[in-house]
Amino acid sequence: MSIWKETMRSGFAAMAAAFTLTSAGLAAAFTVTGAGLIAAFALTAADVASQELELEPHQELARDLFRELIEINTIESEGTALAAEAMARRLLDAGFPPEDVQIVGPDDRKVNLVVRLRGRDTGRAPILLLAHLDVVEALPSDWTIDPWTFTERDGYYYGRGVMDDKDEAAIYTANLIRYKQEGFVPDRDIIVALTADEEGGPANGVQWLLENRRDLIDA
């Protein structure tokens, strides 16, 4: 019987942020270049396994968002609404105006979250960052742990979606919140779209946005 197991290993990369886990704790670096945001989230087994990590508030936020997303079941039959609403609440609480935090989709279950961080009016096109909230099926009988519980063990993260693709969704959301909290204003708008049905299903989020709400993601 195949075991459905995902681990977040050293060196996975995602656009928009850099989070590095060190023996002193998570260290985050954010770089905006002319081409856009470039990011990497690197971690080592020894660092994660350390019992003396003291995380900064923004680092705690990133891991907390990651945990929250992993523990929301977003398989095709469940939909993405709960995950989208959870991230939307975080963004609104951080000070994003409601008009820049949009939950849209073909029905109440298959929804997409689109958030915009307003930049300076330089005439540059926005940057669009995509991640999907849905995950493939995870039968508890195929796992040695609960796939819907965020687990840290021996320097690895376990749970359905830790690599595909809730890591990126958490990174993007954490970065936007930190940018807002620190008053960072980029030289263009930054748009993050967290979408439904990338893994399968009739409501692929990117396709739906292109056909129905391109105004939210045009970049």
Model confidence at 73, pLDDT cuts 50, 70, 90, reads: very high
3-state secondary structure of 114: strand
Q: Which of 46-55, 97-106, 177-186, 187-196 has the lowest mean pLDDT?
A: 46-55
% of the chain with per-residue pLDDT over 70: 76
The answer to whether 41 touches 14, Cβ cutoff 8 Å, is yes
User: Which residue reads 């095709």 in tokens?
Assistant: 76
User: Which residue reads 């977040």 in tokens?
Assistant: 8
Q: What is the pLDDT of residue 142?
A: 94
pTM above 0.75, yes or no: yes
Cα four-point dihedral sign 17, 94, 70, 133: negative
Q: What is the pLDDT of residue 22?
A: 34
Does the pLDDT value for residue 117 go beyond 50?
Answer: yes
Q: What is the pLDDT of residue 33?
A: 38
Tell me if the domain spanning 58-217 has CATH number 3.40.630.10.
yes
3-state secondary structure of 149: coil
3-state secondary structure of 193: strand
